[in-house]
Each structure stands twice: as structure tokens, then as C-alpha cells.
Amino acid sequence: MKRALPDLTVDQPAAGEKVTLVLHADGKQYDLPVLGGTHGPKVIDVRRLYAETGYLTYDPGFMSTANCDSALTFIDGERGILLHRGYAIEDLAAHADFLEVCYLLLYGKLPTQSELGDFGHVIGHHNMVHEQFRRFFEGFRRDAPPMAVMVGTVGALSAFYHDQIDITDTEARMVATHRLVAKMPTICAMAFQYSRGQPFLYPRNDLGYVPNFLRMAFGVPVEEYVVNPVLERAINRFLVLHADHEQNASTSTVRIAGSSRANPYACVAAGIAALWGPDHGGANEAVVNMLEEIGSKDRIPLYIKRAKDRSDPFRLTGFGHRVYKNYDPRAAILRESCHEVLGELGKKDEPLFELALELERIALDDDYFVQRKLFPNVDFYSGIMLRAIGFPTTMFPPLFALARTIGWIAQWKEMIEAPDQHIARPRQRYTGHPIRPYVPLAER
Ligand code: ACO
């Protein structure tokens, strides 16, 4: 059955029509062009503002700043809508294989059967890592967080390909994107196996992207690993739901790093670092820790009270989002996945899930959360599902990084290929000491 598409039409400037915003400053008037996109808010083009007026715009945290043109992902945060290349996330999560979504983000269209087969073949033939690469892992303490291992080892990929990257070459750029998508499951699984003292497994090309990853993560060389189709579907969904998300902190980091023409492997390592924090990709780990700390339903009111208290640093992790002021569509899908996975594993009464459902119910009934439009975000339920599948909390951010690699690298490619690409160089409002004379050391 076909879903009705939401009406996202906005009041756009007509082709050729010049819409301007008038700015009065220092007795003069300046006309700032206003540009429309396909959907979403119009933007004021301030690129000439400083040259023409001597004023900068001021926007810490990029609350009102569009940093680029992008044709990859659209979010309507007020209405809880997320589209990749025009396709709704609900449809992609229900029907698409992760590699289909990778293809869609990279090439701009859904693949045909044969295009998907060829793409899978190319990815399959880039999924091994150099034998020397394995030694990087041995340099880490065995209790190193897998995310720390990911930052280091993905960055180290640039040492293996530095002489093969000509980022001005279209083909070389595409090969780099394929390599990253292909090698990330191998590296992520190696980081996990290393943290458990288990041997690394080579990828197998008779398996699809997700089964291959599950085998490398959970398999052992001494016996066959049988992939559970329900868990495969859940991980596929997790990857699809995290594939890209517009200009978030880690994606912007990748774009900024790449704007200096740094190699893409180093840029993605920078993205992994930005993803790590508890306000971004570390949030699903923090949610599980928080639920464990709350411990039981009768303690929820205490934590709700703490979350609302400005003098208490505690926040309800997994709630709230810079862009979504409505239910994050990804959270709703992951809540369903939790039901499926827990049912399959005979853990229907998983106490952490029960606690999360109750916390959501109580928070969404509370004026504080309603007024601030704080809803569960993608991280609220994902950790519960990943933990049930067998991943420890320290693996949650690496799994997010595995999924987001396609978004990072597709955005990097889009940025490099943009006709007006410049090095990203924000300015500042200087609030330091006024100019003063240097005082020689002996006179201080
Ligand atoms: N619990 C309690 N109060 C909250 C929460 C929360 N989780 N999130 C926001 N608020 C409150 C703020 O205190 C603020 O209240 P005030 O108006 O009384 O000062 C108001 O809601 C607005 O919050 P901001 O921090 O201004 O919103 P911002 O857009 O800057 O922050 C963020 C978004 C960082 C995601 C925030 O909601 C948060 O910290 N959430 C918890 C961490 C989390 O889940 N991060 C994952 C995000 S999704 C992702 O990266 C994949």
C-alpha cells in the first residue's frame, strides 16, 4: 500500500525572482538576497555582508545558520519528517537494504537490481584491511574503549592510501567512498573483537553487508556463525536510520576538515571524534547508563524532577534534539525494533525497555517536556536493542560511526564537488583584552 506523502510545499521565490531582505545599518540600506531550497526555510545569503557593510553575523552553535547547499537529506523538525534524496525514512527503514541506502546517498537514485548487485560486488572487494593494519590494534591497551580504537585506526587508513588520493579526481573520490563504506564494518568488528580478546575474522563475500558484519563481530574461527534474520533486520534498520542526518556536529566536522582538502580518511576520523560525545553519538550509551542508574519505575519521578531542575546538571538523555521539535521518526521505528528483537530473543519483559517506555510516558505527560517540545530522539531506544543483540554499551558509538560513514563520505564528496567550495573559516566576536603594550619580564 502506498503511503500518502506529506505536503512540504513552501513559499519559494519564483525562478528569476529576486527576493531581498532589507538591512538598515549606519544610515545606509543594504539588500540581502533571499534564496529558496526545495523544501524547508528560505535562507538569507550573507556571503557579501562583511565586504559590503563591515558587519559579521553572530550565531554560536549555528542556531540559524545554513552552512551549505545539500541535496542529500531533508529534515522538517517541527513535523518529524526525515527524507533521504526525497524518500521518507519510514519507507527506507521498512523496505531498503543498507547498501541500497548507501547507493541512494552516493549516486542520488535508488539502484536497479543489477546496479545494486554491481555495487555490492565493489563494496565486497574493498572490505579487507591491509595485513599490517591489524598491528595498529595491538598498540592499544586491551581495555581501550572501542571508539578510541576507531578514531585511531580509521585515521590510520590515510597512511595506507595517502599516495592514491587525488581528491580532484572524480574516480579517486568514488574509490575512497567505496573503501570507507566497505572497510568500516571490518574495522568496527575488529575493535569489538579486540576489546574482548577474541581473534579477528576476515570478511566473507558470500554474505551480505549486515550478515558479514554480524559474523565478524560475534563469530569465532572454530565454528560456523548462523545469522538470525530478525537480528539482521534490526541491525539493517539501525544502519539505515543512522545513515545520514543533514548538517549535524560530526557531519559538519567532516565537511570542515575536508574543506582544507585533507584526505577523506582523516576527515572521517575527525567525524568519529565529533560523534563520540554524550550530546551526539555517545548519547545511546548514556541512555542505557541513565536507565540503569534510575533502576526502577518508582524512581522515575525523582529523575524527572532532577531533569527539570536548572541547578542540577542531570538531563534526560535521549530526549530533545536541536532540530526535531516533534517525535524523532527514527525513535518510533527503533521502539518497534526493540519489540521485535526482544520478542525474538525471549526477553519480552526486559526491565530496561519497560523502564524506558514508562519514562517516555511520564515525560510526554509533563508540561516541562511538552512546552519545550522535548521528545525521545534516535538514541532513546537504540541502545536497548543493541544491548539485547549482544553489544556492550562501549560499542554503541562505534556502531553509530559505522552507519554514519556513508553520510559523512557522501557529504564530503558533495562538498568537494560544490562549484563554490571554500575552506571553512568562521569568524568571531573578540571579547579579550584590548590592545596593550608588552611589559618586559623583569618589570612584571
Ligand atoms: N532533559 C531536560 N531538559 C532538557 C533536555 C533534556 N534532555 N534537552 C533540552 N532541555 C531543556 C534545556 O534545559 C532548555 O531549557 P530552558 O529553556 O529552560 O533553558 C530547553 O530544553 C532547550 O534546550 P537546549 O539545550 O537549548 O536545546 P539544544 O537544541 O541546544 O540541545 C540537545 C539539544 C543537546 C540534544 C539537548 O536536547 C540534550 O542535551 N539532550 C540530551 C542529550 C541527547 O540525547 N543527545 C542526543 C541528540 S541526538 C543525536 O545526536 C543523534
How do the domains of the chain map onto residue ranges? Answer: 18-66, 94-424
CATH topology of domain 18-66: Rubrerythrin, domain 2 (2.20.28)
- Distance, in Å, from the CA atom of 25 to the CA atom of 190, rounded to the nearest integer, reads 58
How many CB atoms within 10 Å of residue 315?
Answer: 16
321 Cα to the center of ligand 1, angstroms: 6
Identify which has the larger pLDDT, 286 or 84. 84
203 Cα to the center of ligand 1, angstroms: 40
The pLDDT-based confidence of 116 (bands split at 50, 70, 90) is very high
- Ligand 1 pocket member 307 (CB < 6 A): yes
- Estimate the crossing angle of helix 229-241 against helix 209-218, to 10 degrees: 110
Identify which has the larger pLDDT, 104 or 10. 104
Q: Tens digit of pLDDT for each residue in 51-79?
A: 988 999 999 999 999 999 999 999 999 99
By alpha-carbon position, which residue is closest to atom 30 of ligand 1? 322
Q: Which pLDDT does position 12 carry in this prediction?
A: 63
* Set 84, 178, 242, 321: catalytic member: 321
Q: Tens digit of pLDDT for each residue in 384-440?
A: 999 999 999 999 999 999 999 999 999 999 999 999 899 999 999 999 999 999 999
| Coil, strand or helix at 274 | helix
316 Cα to the center of ligand 1, angstroms: 8
15 pLDDT above the threshold of 60: no
Q: Which of 24-28, 110-114, 345-349: highest mean pLDDT?
A: 110-114
- Burial class (CB within 10 angstroms; exposed 0-12, middle 13-18, buried 19+) of 358: middle
- Ligand 1 pocket member 339 (CB < 6 A): no
Contact 235, 382 (CB under 8 A): no
372 Cα to the center of ligand 1, angstroms: 9
Q: Which atom of ligand 1 is nearest to the CA of 380?
A: 44
| Mean pLDDT score across all residues of the chain | 93
Contact 393, 52 (CB under 8 A): no
Q: Which atom of ligand 1 is nearest to the CA of 245?
A: 51
User: Could you tell me what percent of the chain has a pLDDT over 70?
Assistant: 95
35 pLDDT above the threshold of 80: yes
| C-alpha 147, offset from chain centre | 14
Cα 15 to Cα 11, 12, 37, 264, distances in angstroms: 12, 9, 11, 36
The pLDDT-based confidence of 229 (bands split at 50, 70, 90) is very high
- Distance, in Å, from the CA atom of 267 to the CA atom of 250, rounded to the nearest integer, reads 10
- Ligand 1 pocket member 334 (CB < 6 A): no
320 Cα to the center of ligand 1, angstroms: 5
* Set 379, 420, 422, 433: catalytic member: 379
Given ligand 1 and candidates 287, 374, 400, which is best to mutate, with the most ligand atoms within 8 Å of its CB? 374
How many CA atoms lie within 13 Å of 152's alpha carbon, on the beta-carbon side? Answer: 17
CATH superfamily of 94-424: Citrate Synthase, domain 1 (1.10.580.10)
321 in catalytic set: yes
- Ligand 1 pocket member 318 (CB < 6 A): yes
By alpha-carbon position, which residue is closest to atom 19 of ligand 1? 310
Q: Tens digit of pLDDT for each residue in 244-270?
A: 999 999 999 999 999 999 999 999 999
- Burial class (CB within 10 angstroms; exposed 0-12, middle 13-18, buried 19+) of 14: exposed
Given ligand 1 and candidates 314, 319, 375, which is best to mutate, with the most ligand atoms within 8 Å of its CB? 319
Cβ neighbours of residue 208 under 8 Å, at least 6 residues apart? 97, 99, 120
Identify which has the larger pLDDT, 301 or 12. 301
Q: Which pLDDT does position 10 carry in this prediction?
A: 57
Q: Which pLDDT does position 30 carry in this prediction?
A: 85
Given ligand 1 and candidates 294, 306, 322, which is best to mutate, with the most ligand atoms within 8 Å of its CB? 322
- Distance, in Å, from the CA atom of 115 to the CA atom of 97, rounded to the nearest integer, reads 13
Cα 130 to Cα 126, 161, 187, distances in angstroms: 10, 10, 11
DSSP at 376: B
Residue that has been written with the C-alpha cell 503511503 in this structure: 3
Residue type, position 47, single letter: R
The pLDDT-based confidence of 14 (bands split at 50, 70, 90) is low
The residue among 36, 33, 29, 34 whose CA lies nearest residue 10 is 36
- Distance, in Å, from the CA atom of 404 to the CA atom of 241, rounded to the nearest integer, reads 9
Q: Cell for 362? A: 511520564
- Ligand 1 pocket member 242 (CB < 6 A): no
1 pLDDT above the threshold of 60: no
Contact 35, 12 (CB under 8 A): no
Report the sign of the C-alpha dihedral through residues 323, 328, 334, 335, in that order.
Answer: positive
The residue among 96, 92, 45, 87 whose CA lies nearest residue 68 is 45
304 Cα to the center of ligand 1, angstroms: 14
By alpha-carbon position, which residue is closest to atom 37 of ligand 1? 320
- Distance, in Å, from the CA atom of 154 to the CA atom of 184, rounded to the nearest integer, reads 8
Q: Which pLDDT does position 319 carry in this prediction?
A: 92
Q: Which pLDDT does position 11 carry in this prediction?
A: 55
153 Cα to the center of ligand 1, angstroms: 31
Report the sign of the C-alpha dihedral through residues 11, 13, 18, 20, in that order.
Answer: positive
pTM of the model: 0.92
Q: Which pLDDT does position 2 carry in this prediction?
A: 60
- Distance, in Å, from the CA atom of 383 to the CA atom of 356, rounded to the nearest integer, reads 11
- Ligand 1 pocket member 322 (CB < 6 A): yes
- Ligand 1 pocket member 330 (CB < 6 A): no
